[in-house]
Amino acid sequence: MDSITAAIVAVLPALAANTVKSGVEDAYEGLKEVIRRKWGDANPISKAITAVEEDPHSSAQDAALEEKVGAVNASEDAEVLQALHVLVEQMKIHGIGGEAVARIQLNISGGTQTGIIGAQNVSAGSMTFGKT
């Protein structure tokens, strides 16, 4: 499962139960806002997010969202990844999503990036930084 879908699926139970802190809810809304701004409310990815929110226990809806994320290459968009990073960090801080969130990896390639988001190991040419 891609990182965007995994994060959305992991946060929804806590949102539905009203057990999240405002930072998590704000970060989730921020991710959705970036997606809607980039692709519009009528785009299939926005509709897929709404469908998952309406039926968070449906693996078919999860699969549809994952397909729509891939169709627009959302996992390769730096602005989406930054919003996703904020959400994932808030979820980790507040203990939401457990193992599913711990497995989320954010990969950014190409373009100009500022800082390193969500990295444990970084490779730059022949130099490698991170855990050994």
Q: Is residue 54 part of a domain?
A: yes
pLDDT for residue 119: 45
Q: Is residue 90 part of a domain?
A: yes
By CB neighbour count within 10 A (0-12 exposed, 13-18 middle, 19+ buried), where does 101 fall?
A: buried
Q: What range defines the domain where residue 14 resides?
A: 3-107
Q: Is residue 125 part of a domain?
A: no
Strand spans (E) along the chain: 121-124, 127-130
Distance CA 13, CA 19 (A): 9
Q: Is residue 87 part of a domain?
A: yes
Q: Is residue 74 part of a domain?
A: yes
In the block, tokens 């390769």 appear at 76
Distance CA 89, CA 82 (A): 11
Q: Is residue 128 part of a domain?
A: no
From the list 103, 77, 101, 85, the residue with the least C-alpha distance to 12 is 101
Q: Is residue 19 part of a domain?
A: yes
pLDDT in tens, the chain (132 residues): 899 999 999 999 888 887 777 889 999 999 999 999 999 999 999 999 999 999 999 999 999 999 999 999 999 999 999 999 999 989 888 887 777 676 676 655 555 544 444 444 444 445 555 555
In total, how many domains does the chain have? 1
Q: Is residue 130 part of a domain?
A: no
